[in-house]
Structure 1
Amino acid sequence: MSETIQFGGLELRFLRDKAETGGGLTLFEMTVQPNARMPVPHHHEGWDETIYGLAGETTWRIGGEDVALGPGEVVFIRRGVVHGFRNDGTGPARCLCILTPGVLGIGYFREMAALVAAGAPDPERMKEVMLRHGLVPAP
């Protein structure tokens, strides 16, 4: 599988989806443009995230603390921990994202990209999509 989805300063290139791995993992490479960020800080109960830095630097807000992630560095986000990310740099940053088990699939990202492409997304609609796919927006 190789599908790329772009929205809001993010580009996600899917390498493996939950359907291909029998729910074992979801794997994608993410490019974060300068000044881009995760639209909504959130947590999830159904999977953990491991993020491996490939290029540039992103800042991950994990459980209320900022953690810088550069090439060759890794962060682990346990299920239930509120998190988000941003790129404060002047160039794009890339990282490899591994979701285990592979509960979240590419469908979530397709839906979010469609909402963003339609114009200023309705926060309630975004929340509904997130909750339906197992992501819980932070209060």
Structure 2
Amino acid sequence: MSQAALDPHVNPADETIATKGLAVRFLLTGESSNGSIAAFELDVPGGQRLPAPAHSHDHYEETIYGIDGVLTWTVDGKAIDVGPGQALCIPRGAVHRFDNNDSRDVKALCVITPAAIGPEYFRETFAVLNAATGCSPDRAKIAEIMRRHGLTPAVPPT
């Protein structure tokens, strides 16, 4: 058993995983919560769109809590603004994405229950995004990473 699992006061991930201004910092992982919850801070610069495709997940809910700024989540085609003190629960199977449509940076808390996704997903995805200097990222590689980590990329609209 890891030290993080033995000591509930240890921050399980003292790293910030980032790409092109977008940043994730895990506060709890499945390893430190007996698989019940993963929680991470999400920082989104002004004007930034989600660099990965809209997606769904069948094995967990994702709850978003706004801390600073307003992030627009599109859930099953409906735009929902989440600002400071507001929360949104994205149910299993709902296709969703986010965009920061403002010039102000956003900070949100994302909670995954149960903890079916962790830092490795973001490390792998952000590595592909960071490798795409001056060109579009490898969408097939991003989709493969998403599927391997339990996310289902949405079919692009025709």
TM-score (normalised: structure 2): 0.85
1:125 aligns with 2:138: no
Task: Give the drift of 1:9.
Answer: 3.2
Unaligned runs of 5+ in 1: none
1:16 aligns with 2:28: yes
Q: Percent identity at matched positions?
A: 40
Structure 1 residue runs of 4+, over 4 Å off? none
Name the aligned partner's letter for residue 150 of structure 2: G
1:71 aligns with 2:84: yes
Select 2:71's aligned residue among 39, 58, 62: 58
Contact 1:49/1:99 (CA < 8 Å) preserved in 2? Answer: yes
Secondary structure, in 3 states, of the residue corresponding to 1:38? coil
User: How many residues are matched?
Assistant: 139
Cα shift readout 1:99-135 (whole Å, capped 9, x = no counterpart): 0000111110000111111114211111100000000
Aligned 1:1-139 pairs, distance under 5 A: 1=12, 2-39=14-51, 40-119=53-132, 120-139=136-155
Unaligned runs of 5+ in 2: 1-11
TM-score (normalised: structure 1): 0.96
Secondary structure, in 3 states, of the residue corresponding to 2:32? coil
Task: Give the drift of 1:8.
Answer: 3.7
Task: Give the drift of 1:75.
Answer: 0.4
Superposition CA RMSD, Å? 0.9
Secondary structure, in 3 states, of the residue corresponding to 1:84? strand
Task: Give the drift of 1:89.
Answer: 0.7
Counterpart-to-counterpart distance in 2, 1:66 and 1:9: 23
Counterpart-to-counterpart distance in 2, 1:9 and 1:78: 27
Task: Name the structure, 1 or 2, with higher relative contact order (CA <8 Å, separation 6+).
Answer: 1
Counterpart-to-counterpart distance in 2, 1:46 and 1:3: 26
Counterpart-to-counterpart distance in 2, 1:9 and 1:58: 15
Question: Which deviates the most, 69-78 or 2-11?
Answer: 2-11
Larger radius of gyration: 2
Name the aligned partner's letter for residue 17 of structure 1: T
